[in-house]
Structure 1
Amino acid sequence: MFDVLVIGAGHAGCEAAAAAARRGARVGLVTFRDEDVGQMSCNPSIGGVGKGHLVRELDVFDGLMARAADRAAIHRRMLNRSKGPAVQGPRVQADRSLYRAAMCELVGASGVELIVTEAIALVVVGGRIVGLKTESGLIECRALVIATGTFLDARIFVGDRIRSGGRRDESSAVALGAQIREIGLAQGRLKTGTPPRLDGRTIDWARLQPQPSDDDPWTMSAIDDGFRPPQLACAIARTNETTHDIIRSSFDRSPLFSGSIEGRGPRYCPSIEDKVRRFADRDGHQIFLEPESLTNALVYPNGVSTSLPEEVQLAFMRSISGLERVEIVRCGYAVEYEFVDPRTLSSTLETREIAGLFLAGQINGTTGYEEAAAQGLAAGLNAAAKALDLDSVRFDRRTSYIGVMIDDLTLQGVSEPYRMMTARAEYRLALRADNSTSRLGQQALAAHCVGDSRRAQIREHFEARGCSTWNMTPEGAADALYAPYLERQEREWTAVLGDRTVQIPANLDFRAIPGISNEMSERLSAARPETLDQASRVRGVTPAALSALYVAASRRAA
């Protein structure tokens, strides 16, 4: 009998399993293959703007991702370094094999038991999860986390070739997907994709714009073990009109446009064929050439995910300056998979239909390693709470990006893969990547989910600042730089909550409002709300968008 079972050993699953174990649960981690633990399915990077904030928050709760990223970092870059601290984002390029090795070591050290088998069906008695049927037999449990990533009844597309699978050369979770549909949890299908992998030895690096690693030795984790892998430079290439012509001529062979793919893909990470169609006036798109390893020549061309036929992929890649003789080691492809409406979940990520069943990661309609890992942390902490009768752990959007994400998902739902951005947070000036311990350290200690080293680091952090807690006031944050902005932000949000009768001008251009994303502007433009109250009821419009809309409408009325 396990206290907690976790299905899937990707980023969400590893964090969920380790988090539950840190709270004292006996945990089993179910995976198709042991080599799948900590696998980086797509891009070999961790962090970024918004995403890096999530990783730093995970780290406060003794999560695994930041430490694994530091152990594997072969390129470090602080994004938006020239801008304010609130929108700076730590990002590392990782050696895939080093990252997986680090994650396996960290999961093993947490006491999690790895179970290599296929999950067949949930066992539910009296509306509560009691076990899991697997290829190897029945496994009993008190709580269960599904973290299947893109594997739930998934299909892979390359041109007109379609096969079952959630990742290259790996099977799809068909039986479990069927049960999820049968019990009414399935919402529909979403799509993601990956670019071809290139042989770096066939790239003319001298003709490309180099992007060196940062000189200063910052780390993702607040606990620095001093390990520093050698650093590699990335490079920037660019598509051109010839590239676009090749892609346009093959639109009829793209499963995106032929109708083969039903699911909607991520708005903020579109395929190259989607970029060429949607931005027909652009004469080029940047490509970031990112080395994947210290020990092999594989290069990840970030910005050209595609599901076009293999020969088309090779042709358009060779049309790019510096890549005229490039060889493709593995072609790109698209993946379509089942997801669950996250509005069926509570703020602990437990399903409302089945007690003790938690969901984390791409099954909830998100995209990205960091979003998955953060959900895994929340689901794992709360699955342990369910199994062991402990206090639940809830994340507040006022104090964390994890709280922003969970709140957005469980209240608004998704119509496309959800990606974390700083624009989603109405309190983003206070939610910085560099103050995560100040914001969340006390909550992590109260959850009893951190080890001795982390506990000491959190306590030393507060002692060094002469305080024992953190709050939203400028005094509580020692944020002298941001103090007046934080005060204004608080006044604005209080006004938003207190006065929903504010009129919205009929000719207001939502796209021109600072702080409103393209996604939000599209929702508002379609609904054309007349008041802030009506805007608050538009599906998918976030509190951050409402705050920005209030400021814009008030200024127009003044």
Structure 2
Amino acid sequence: MFNQYDVIVVGAGHAGCEAANAAATMGSKVLLVTMNMNTIAQMSCNPAMGGVAKGQIVREIDALGGMSGIVTDKSMIQFRMLNKSKGPAMWSPRTQSDRMRFAEEWRLALESNPNVDFWQEMVTGIIVENNTAVGITTGMGIEIRSKSVILTNGTFLNGLIHIGEKQFGGGRTGEGASKGITEQLVQLGFESGRMKTGTPPRVDGRSLDYSKMEEQKGDEVPGKFSFSPSTTPLAQQRSCYITYTNPEVHAILETGFDRSPMFNGRIQGLGPRYCPSIEDKINRFAERTRHQVFVEPEGWDTVEIYVNGFSTSLPEDVQFKAIRKIAGFENAKMFRPGYAIEYDYFPPTQLSTTLETNLIQNLYFAGQINGTTGYEEAACQGLMAGINAHNKTHDKEPFVLGRSEAYIGVLIDDLINKGTDEPYRMFTSRAEYRILLRQDNADIRLTAKGHKLGLASDERLKIVEEKKKSVSKLLNDIRQKKIDPDKANPALTALGTATIEHRTNYAKLLKRPQINIYDLPAFDEEMADYLAKYDPEILEQVDILIKYEDYIDKEEKLADKISSLENHAIQNDFDFDSISALSAEAREKFKKIKPSTIGQASRISGVSPADISVLMVYMAQ
């Protein structure tokens, strides 16, 4: 019935979709196994992609040749560039998505990939022979063979849903939990843990009074995620809205605390620190009289509304009473209550840099199984697992991104070296090279790598090469072109910045915080005509490179210095017990995590600089 596959992907969420598409696009024969073909790429939580640091990840996925950016562009209903008032390292694209169209676009993309096959059934185990994953077993007792297996089980591993004092098994509302995989992996020697996440109620948008809320429109000139010309910016957008809780809402919610699974101890797993439930917010921030509630439409043609900021697992009657005391929600009709879900995860320190497990060869983990939270974090892990499963299957070199190359590299490096005991979410503050890892230059950083892998198309590479040439030419011209004081000073005075006394090049003027490249046409008609030849993304890129030149140069030098440690490779079978001068903790961590380089070893939690010095001396000998 089944031929042997190169890669089997278990789970069809954001990680599974990217993994299957990547491996198949690169040439592997892939089987995507899911418990429900109708929920491929479902947005289980909020109908949005991107945001702070997450937007950078989506752009990196797109630059490498992944599909999340394209799918998002085809299904978005609103686009906003966050943090524009801050420096460009903080700018982060975010879209509101049409939840149904997002899932549909992903399914259509996968079905159009001739190397992807599908199978609808629960996977109950991994076939392991000679310490190597060689296939899967299903609930019907079917064995399907493969050269590698990628687990992207999301919240389904022994998932348990909580609503007040009620609890029932499930990976998300209306869908069953996955049984058997955790138990087998633990028997094989893996360490597992429990985490939780939550979701808010969904309500009928027709029952809300938007006049009592603050309208949140999209950008006046909307952008898009993908660097590909195959998608276009939105011509029209749907607004979101903001409202607030109040003391009366909080008082009603508190009446249910004794029936809350979080407070009565029935939920053991840790939840996301940066996306707490409404009851957790009230408890932790008792001094606050209100909390923001974001009212987000689920799509173009549906009345369903996602109540972002009101995640809860309180009894449904308490949820309903409380939500109706929020301004604009006085007559709200609830589609379904919020709930919390507990699920199994596997501490990611058990993985290598390729997301292959250290215990079982050709077995990869990606997404929430690794303790992360968020569509974007899951998608990029799926992409990297798919790439590396394909590469290993076809005897190619592993593909690993460094911390100075991508947010994806930061995320994976954090996970495998530091681990996580609470759902891991990406932030710009986690990246020490964030001025290098901007959302605007993801294509320049990564598309050539994606093309070499066989993911990014020839067309995509050509577009990036042309962009680099344009940026280089404009950058050079801006540095060469000069302007006299009599032409420059009126414009400088109008912009509220100091006048000049001598002929000055435009690059020096652009370094001033009061001036950006879009102001230059006001200085000189010739410059206005010259700049009109360039696309806005080229102008923005040059403006950033000039204005932040010193910071960029500093980070590049630091990255080069640190990368020298990454060139000191450590063999997989290295005997750390033979180095008596290592601390006991360092020896234990090295044996567990198996760092592949001195650089990776230096970033492991609990390892001191002295341990690294000892290791380097020993290796030099």
For the superposition of Structure 1 and Structure 2, which TM-score range results when normalised by the shorter chain? 0.7 to 0.9
Q: Partners in 2 of 1:156 and 1:108 — Cα distance? A: 31
AA at the equivalent of 1:132: I
Q: Partners in 1 of 2:332 and 2:409 — Cα distance? A: 43
Q: 1:354 to 1:401 in 2, by over 3 A?
A: same
TM-score (norm 1): 0.86
- 1:519 alignment partner in structure 2: none
Task: Describe the SS at the equivalent of 1:461.
Answer: helix
Cα deviation code 1:217-251 (max 9, x no counterpart): 31110114237474111000001111111112211
- 2:55 alignment partner in structure 1: 52
Q: Partners in 2 of 1:198 and 1:53 — Cα distance? A: 31
AA at the equivalent of 1:480: I
1:449 aligns with 2:452: no
Alignment of 1:266-281 (within 5 A): 266-281=272-287
- 2:531 alignment partner in structure 1: none
Q: Partners in 2 of 1:489 and 1:540 — Cα distance? A: 26
Shift of residue 3, structure 1, vs aligned partner? 0.3
Please identify the structure whose Cα radius of gyration is greater: 2
Shift of residue 214, structure 1, vs aligned partner? 1.2
1:245 aligns with 2:251: yes
Shift of residue 283, structure 1, vs aligned partner? 0.9
AA at the equivalent of 2:143: L
Shift of residue 464, structure 1, vs aligned partner? 3.3
1:8 aligns with 2:11: yes
Task: Describe the SS at the equivalent of 1:86.
Answer: coil
- 1:210 alignment partner in structure 2: 215
Task: Describe the SS at the equivalent of 2:60.
Answer: helix
Contact 1:160 1:254 in 2 (8 A): yes
Task: Describe the SS at the equivalent of 1:386.
Answer: helix
Contact 2:53 2:427 in 1 (8 A): yes
Q: 1:110 to 1:458 in 2, by over 3 A?
A: farther
AA at the equivalent of 1:249: T
- 2:152 alignment partner in structure 1: 147
Q: Partners in 1 of 2:295 and 2:544 — Cα distance? A: 40
1:482 aligns with 2:548: yes
Alignment of 1:90-129 (within 5 A): 90-111=93-114, 112-129=116-133
Q: 1:240 to 1:287 in 2, by over 3 A?
A: same
1:335 aligns with 2:335: no
The gaps in structure 2 that reach 5 residues or longer are 474-540, 565-601, 610-621
Q: 1:274 to 1:26 in 2, by over 3 A?
A: same
Q: Partners in 2 of 1:35 and 1:13 — Cα distance? A: 14
Aligned counterpart for 1:221 among listed residues 196, 221, 226: 226
1:406 aligns with 2:412: yes
The gaps in structure 1 that reach 5 residues or longer are 468-474, 499-535, 544-558
Shift of residue 326, structure 1, vs aligned partner? 0.7
Question: Percent identity between the aligned chains?
Answer: 43
Q: Partners in 1 of 2:173 and 2:544 — Cα distance? A: 49
Contact 1:45 1:91 in 2 (8 A): yes
1:427 aligns with 2:436: no
Task: Describe the SS at the equivalent of 2:553.
Answer: helix
Q: Partners in 1 of 2:92 and 2:389 — Cα distance? A: 30
Q: Partners in 1 of 2:608 and 2:19 — Cα distance? A: 26
Task: Describe the SS at the equivalent of 1:358.
Answer: strand
Alignment of 1:278-317 (within 5 A): 278-317=284-323
Shift of residue 479, structure 1, vs aligned partner? 1.7
Q: Partners in 1 of 2:463 and 2:260 — Cα distance? A: 51
Q: Partners in 2 of 1:476 and 1:379 — Cα distance? A: 34
Q: Partners in 1 of 2:286 and 2:360 — Cα distance? A: 47
Q: How many residues align?
A: 499
Shift of residue 491, structure 1, vs aligned partner? 6.5
- 1:31 alignment partner in structure 2: 34
Q: Partners in 1 of 2:276 and 2:383 — Cα distance? A: 27
TM-score (norm 2): 0.77
Q: 1:497 to 1:32 in 2, by over 3 A?
A: closer
Shift of residue 477, structure 1, vs aligned partner? 12
Shift of residue 463, structure 1, vs aligned partner? 3.9
Contact 2:73 2:232 in 1 (8 A): no
Contact 1:29 1:115 in 2 (8 A): yes
Aligned counterpart for 1:63 among listed residues 59, 63, 66: 66
Contact 1:413 1:540 in 2 (8 A): no
AA at the equivalent of 1:127: N
Shift of residue 495, structure 1, vs aligned partner? 9.4
Shift of residue 390, structure 1, vs aligned partner? 1.7
